[in-house]
Every structure is written in structure tokens, then in C-alpha cells.
């Protein structure tokens, strides 16, 4: 009987050791993934019919230095957005001119986008700034920079002018929608199908 008790004790010990060394369940592993509890204006900056970017920097040094750095990064991101939108605008413009009766040619929107972007970036402004906890739990200083809808429209008009794009009012409206949010694909497809 003593051997049976010892054997049972040994089996229980082996079972406990085996259970304690088992890998974590998937739901336990998922809880180790950092949770992004930053505010929405940081994760997904939006300004209707305009451009927006939020950039964060690690909390180091004075707040004025952190604000200047985050603002510069946000403005650089808006410039990048303008270049991406100009690339899409270029493709849409080419499709519109090919679909119309007479082709009109202009300079590439891509080639003039940097010049026009630099001229218009002075109209951007920081609209929100505060300390937030980053994904890693460390404090960050975040700044949201926007370009207002009226300045976005001016930017679009400047791109048309600099690219020497000759478009009618309907095509200009389609191009502007494309520039704002890449939403004009359906309208463009309908226009080119006619």
C-alpha cells in the first residue's frame, strides 16, 4: 500500500509539474499585446474636407522643443499626403483626358506637387497638443496639424494652375473629389463609360 501511495504521489507531482510548464493559451498571449489606448485624434486624425496629421514624440526635454518637433513631423506628413493625392490626381486626370473628345495635356501633377505643397504648408496649423500615454506606456507629446477645407481647395486650384490642366467644371468637380478623398472612382468610371 505504501508503494501505491508513493506512486500516486509521484504521478501527481509529475502531473503538476507538467501542467505548470504548459504553454500559455491564446487568450493569455493576446493579453500580453500592448493595448493602444491613445485618443482617437492621435490614432486617426480627421478634418472634414481638409488634411490632418497627428505625430507624437517621446517626452524628452522641454515642451516647446517637443511641440516644435511633433509639429514639424506632422507638417511633413501632410506634405507626403499631398504628394500621394497628386499622384492619384495625375492618374485620374490622364483617364479623364483620354475619355474626352480632345486630349488636353498638362504638366504632371506629381512634378508640381512639391512646389505647391511647400507654398501651402504655411497655412497649416496645430489645433491640438497634449501628453498621452503611448502604446508602450511611456508618455508622449502629440500634436495634431490640419489644413482647413478652404486651404485644401486653394491647394487643389494651385495644382490645376501649375499643371496647366484644362478641365471643364464637371471634370474639375470629379478631380477635386478624387483629391480630397479618393471617392470619385465610381463617377469617373461612369464618365469614361459614356
pLDDT tens profile 98-132: 666 554 555 567 777 777 887 778 889 999 999 99
Give the residue from 164, 149, 151 showing the smallest Cα distance to 93. 164
| Residue whose C-alpha cell is 509539474 | 17
| Residue whose C-alpha cell is 490622364 | 94
Q: What is the pTM of this model?
A: 0.67
Q: What is the pLDDT of residue 75?
A: 94
Q: What is the mean pLDDT of residues 128-141?
A: 91
Give the residue from 54, 115, 122, 114 showing the smallest Cα distance to 80. 114
8 Å CB contact between 78 and 124: yes
8 Å CB contact between 79 and 71: no
Amino acid at each position: 500500500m505504501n508503494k501505491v501511495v508513493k506512486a500516486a504521489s509521484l504521478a501527481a507531482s509529475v502531473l503538476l509539474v507538467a501542467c505548470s510548464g504548459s504553454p500559455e493559451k491564446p487568450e493569455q498571449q493576446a493579453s500580453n499585446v500592448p493595448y493602444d489606448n491613445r485618443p482617437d485624434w492621435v490614432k486617426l486624425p480627421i478634418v472634414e474636407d481638409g488634411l490632418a496629421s497627428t505625430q507624437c514624440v517621446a517626452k524628452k526635454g522641454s515642451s516647446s522643443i517637443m511641440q516644435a518637433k511633433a509639429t514639424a513631423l506632422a507638417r511633413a506628413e501632410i506634405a507626403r499626403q499631398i504628394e500621394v493625392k497628386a499622384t492619384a490626381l495625375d492618374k485620374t486626370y490622364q483617364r479623364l483626358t483620354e475619355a474626352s473628345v480632345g486630349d488636353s495635356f498638362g504638366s504632371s501633377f506629381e512634378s508640381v506637387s512639391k512646389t505647391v505643397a511647400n507654398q501651402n504648408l504655411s497655412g497649416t496649423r496645430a489645433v491640438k497638443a497634449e501628453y498621452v500615454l503611448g502604446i508602450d506606456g511611456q508618455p508622449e507629446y502629440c500634436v495634431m496639424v490640419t489644413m482647413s477645407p478652404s486651404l485644401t481647395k486653394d491647394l487643389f486650384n494651385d495644382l490645376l494652375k501649375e499643371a496647366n490642366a484644362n478641365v471643364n467644371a464637371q471634370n474639375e468637380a470629379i478631380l477635386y473629389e478624387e483629391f480630397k478623398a479618393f471617392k470619385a472612382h465610381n463617377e469617373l468610371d461612369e464618365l469614361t463609360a459614356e
